[in-house]
């Protein structure tokens, strides 16, 4: 049955322009429709906020923020936003229509993907997020449902409805917005959101594409949250044996529980993923995975949720996490039956009947005829004003924002009705909140820790923008070096201000590959670098216990306090040596090199033969990968 027939918006036009033809999807905050722009005669997607949420200024602000944020990106892998508007109770976005399917549909149908397919999808996703990160925005809800795959093969990132500026304040309710299976530990623990939460989510999505299942599962969402906080994402090869180590390393780097150990944004992760792809052979890229875990998920894990943040430490997540999924409301729901008290006589029967009537109309006693006075709210913060109105039994009908040289930014400069006016006890008040002066001065933030610099910009009426890093000999690591626009310059309120943050004094990174672990650690720590040991050891030509590789290449510059991850060698792999006796010298050399060995040729002083007579390690015996095999040429 076509459920769109029951939708009151299907067949209607919004803003006398957008004719709604069919419902595409329903979410907790909005419904998406296929519509026709009758002015430009083009098909598009119309995202309409649920009317009950449209009365909430915070949700409307988020809607409008999505329109402005995505419109600024203008990236080929981001679903474009064309227009934003309202029509009566409906607030909507007009967006690019992408015929095709979502990545969730692909995973549900196919399960695990071949590495090449997974990377072909992930790379444009990271390109889109990288553009957002460099523009100063974080998506915050990356998951397969928000990755669209068009019929023409194009990959696009959708649903920037949770997008926010990097460094902007978290919501005051203590809730976390997102989807439990893809939340980074810092989102769960304290609501921190910077580009690295998108990096974490993309690491989980890559794991899911490679294995067909999520890395952390549980019987309840709270169990999933607890595992994100307390358990590392396992390597994909643990679920799909044979997956290359380069893919394990990419997932481990992106999903490190400590945000400081992840790539700093999607651009950095994209570079890491491309390096991983370059390290794989065609056979590895096209390996067909098993499909045993296809479709493994629960509905509660895949939906964007409002998650109360744990208060008592990590373990409290298991007991306090709850999830609220706003349902798709029935247009005319039947009222719940009301239980009448049993009468205990004529007087009680009369009182009971009176209470039923009064409570049924939402009124206590006869307050519908009472009046109250609007409290004086001038100079109060918006939050304080709303609390005072609520205490007086009044609602906030809306919030306007205007410039003012007299009232501080964020304080109430007028109310309608005015303070002291008589109003019905259930009436509404419109607040006018100051945006501050029309021109503000960029404050000096040099030497301030990044968090304090951002607060100083917000207090001045500006928006913290993109954060970049530079080496500095005189500014401490993590502190602000400068801003763009610079200190003292004047700008309009809410102008984004980019911040340059110190990486500390530059430190040339030495090579420690091949050194014993303790010596390598001492060398790096003496330079002011932080050493971390990778949890997994690897086979390499280096002796067992020595450093196999380092996360920052030798010869590059790092900042004081930067972390370098060292991977310890398990020693070389032992591989069988091919038998090349009797082969031509050149053929024998190629055979041994293809097996991973170096070759030394021992030729008699006088010999006209090219036939191999002996080899230093007999065919069929094992030798360390990368070791040298000597072949002796037959003497004549």
For residue 396, count CB atoms less than 10 angstroms from its CB and return exposed for 0-12, middle for 13-18, buried for 19 or more: middle
Instruction: Identify the pLDDT of residue 371.
Output: 67
Q: End-to-end CA distance of the chain: give it in Å, rounded.
A: 88
Going across the sheet that includes 547-550, the strands are 530-533, 563-568, 547-550
Token representation of residue 241: 């044996």
Q: Where does the pLDDT of residue 161 fall: very low under 50, low under 70, confident under 90, or very high at 90 and above?
A: low
Tally of CB atoms within 10 A around 11: 12
Q: Where are the domains of the chain?
A: 3-96, 100-320, 367-434, 440-502, 506-568, 574-633
Q: How far apart are the C-alpha atoms of 36 and 84, rounded to whole Å?
A: 15
CATH 3.40.50.12780 fits domain 506-568: no
Average pLDDT score over residue span 21-36? 86
Which residue, among 399, 405, 366, 371, has the nearest Cα to 385 in the 3D structure? 399
Task: Give the architecture (CATH level 2) of 367-434.
Answer: 2-Layer Sandwich (3.30)
Give me the chain's average pLDDT, please.
81
What is the CATH topology of the domain spanning 574-633? Trypsin Inhibitor V; Chain A (3.30.10)
Task: Decide: 606 and 634 in contact? Cβ < 8 Å.
Answer: no
For residue 234, count CB atoms less than 10 angstroms from its CB and return exposed for 0-12, middle for 13-18, buried for 19 or more: middle
Instruction: Identify the pLDDT of residue 344.
Output: 39
Residues marked active site are found at 141
Radius of gyration of the chain measured on its C-alpha atoms: 32
Q: 298-312, 357-371, 409-423: which range is least confident on average?
A: 357-371
The predicted-structure confidence for 64-118, as pLDDT tens digits, reads as follows 766 776 777 778 899 888 888 888 888 898 999 998 889 998 998 889 999 999 9
Cα angle 225-229-232, degrees, rounded to a multiple of 5: 110
What is the CATH topology of the domain spanning 440-502? Trypsin Inhibitor V; Chain A (3.30.10)
Tell me whether domains 100-320 and 440-502 share a fold.
Answer: no
Q: How far apart are the C-alpha atoms of 436 and 431, rounded to whole Å?
A: 15
The predicted-structure confidence for 261-271, as pLDDT tens digits, reads as follows 899 999 999 99
For residue 296, pLDDT over 80 is answered with no
Which residue, among 529, 533, 519, has the nearest Cα to 557 in the 3D structure? 529
Token representation of residue 397: 């009908």
Which residue, among 22, 17, 13, has the nearest Cα to 99 in the 3D structure? 22
Q: Which residue's structure tokens are 């978290």?
A: 170
The predicted-structure confidence for 419-475, as pLDDT tens digits, reads as follows 888 887 778 899 999 887 778 889 999 999 999 999 999 888 888 888 888 999 899
Task: Decide: 269 and 126 in contact? Cβ < 8 Å.
Answer: yes
For residue 162, pLDDT over 50 is answered with no
- Could you say which DSSP state residue 261 is in? G
User: What 3-state DSSP class applies to 242?
Assistant: coil
Average pLDDT score over residue span 544-568? 91
Q: How far apart are the C-alpha atoms of 166 and 462, rounded to whole Å?
A: 13
* Residue with more model confidence, 482 or 401: 482
CATH 3.30.230.10 fits domain 100-320: no
CATH for 3-96 (3.30.200.20, 1.10.3720.10, 3.30.710.10, 3.40.50.150): 3.30.200.20
User: What 3-state DSSP class applies to 436?
Assistant: coil
């Amino acid at each position: 049955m076509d459920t769109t027939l029951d939708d009151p918006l299907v067949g209607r036009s919004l803003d006398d322009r957008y004719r709604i033809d069919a419902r595409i999807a329903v979410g907790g905050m909005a419904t998406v429709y296929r519509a026709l722009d009758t002015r430009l005669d083009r098909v598009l997607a119309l995202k309409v906020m649920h009317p009950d949420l449209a009365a909430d200024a915070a949700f409307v602000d988020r809607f409008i923020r999505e329109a402005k944020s995505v419109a600024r990106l203008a990236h080929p892998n981001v679903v474009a936003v064309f227009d934003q508007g309202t029509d009566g109770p409906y607030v909507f976005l007009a967006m690019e229509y992408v015929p095709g399917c979502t990545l969730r549909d692909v995973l549900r149908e196919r399960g695990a993907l071949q590495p090449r397919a997974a990377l072909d999808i992930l790379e444009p996703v990271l390109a889109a997020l990288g553009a957002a990160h460099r523009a100063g925005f974080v998506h915050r809800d990356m998951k397969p449902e928000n990755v669209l795959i068009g019929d023409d093969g194009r990959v696009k990132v959708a649903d920037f409805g949770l997008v926010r500026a990097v460094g902007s304040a978290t919501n005051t309710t203590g809730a976390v917005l997102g989807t439990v299976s893809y939340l980074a530990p810092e989102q769960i623990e304290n609501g921190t959101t910077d580009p690295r939460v998108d990096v974490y989510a993309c690491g989980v999505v890559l794991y899911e594409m490679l294995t067909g299942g999520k890395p952390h599962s549980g019987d309840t969402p709270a169990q999933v949250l607890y595992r994100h906080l307390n358990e590392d994402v396992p390597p994909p090869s643990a679920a799909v044996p044979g997956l290359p180590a380069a893919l394990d390393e990419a997932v481990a780097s992106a999903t490190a529980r400590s945000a400081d150990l992840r790539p700093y944004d999607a651009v950095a992760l994209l570079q890491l993923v491309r390096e991983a792809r370059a390290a794989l052979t065609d056979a590895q890229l096209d390996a067909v995975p098993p499909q045993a875990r296809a479709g493994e998920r629960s509905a509660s894990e895949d939906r964007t949720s409002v998650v109360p943040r744990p208060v008592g430490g990590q373990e409290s997540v298991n007991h306090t996490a709850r999830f609220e999924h706003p349902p798709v409301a029935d247009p005319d729901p039947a009222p719940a039956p009301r239980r009448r008290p049993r009468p205990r006589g004529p007087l009680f029967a009369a009182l009971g009947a009176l209470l039923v009537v009064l409570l049924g109309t939402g009124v206590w006693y006869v307050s519908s005829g009472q009046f109250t006075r609007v409290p004086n709210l001038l100079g109060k913060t918006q939050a304080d004003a709303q609390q005072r109105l609520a205490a007086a039994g009044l609602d906030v009908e809306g919030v306007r924002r205007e410039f003012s040289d007299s009232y501080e930014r964020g304080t109430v400069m007028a109310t309608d009705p005015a303070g002291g006016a008589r109003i019905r006890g259930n009436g509404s008040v419109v607040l006018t909140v100051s945006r501050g002066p029309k021109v503000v001065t960029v404050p000096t933030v040099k030497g301030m820790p990044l968090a304090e610099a951002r607060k100083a910009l917000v207090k001045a009426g500006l928006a913290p923008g993109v954060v970049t890093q530079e080496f500095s000999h005189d500014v401490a690591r993590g502190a602000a070096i400068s801003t763009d626009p610079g200190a003292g310059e004047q700008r309009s309120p809410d102008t984004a201000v980019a911040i340059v943050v110190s990486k500390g004094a530059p430190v040339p990174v030495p090579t420690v590959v091949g050194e014993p672990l303790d010596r390598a650690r001492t060398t790096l720590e003496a330079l002011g670098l932080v050493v971390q040991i990778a949890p997994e050891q690897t086979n390499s030509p280096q002796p067992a216990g020595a450093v196999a590789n380092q996360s920052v290449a030798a010869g590059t510059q790092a900042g004081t306090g930067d972390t370098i991850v060292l991977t310890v060698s398990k020693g070389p792999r032992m591989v069988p040596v091919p038998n090349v006796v009797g082969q031509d010298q050149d053929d024998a050399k190629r055979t041994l090199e293809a097996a991973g060995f170096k070759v030394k040729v021992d030729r008699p002083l006088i010999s006209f033969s090219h036939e191999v007579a002996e080899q230093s390690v007999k065919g069929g015996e094992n030798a360390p990968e990368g070791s040298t095999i000597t072949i002796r040429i037959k003497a004549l």
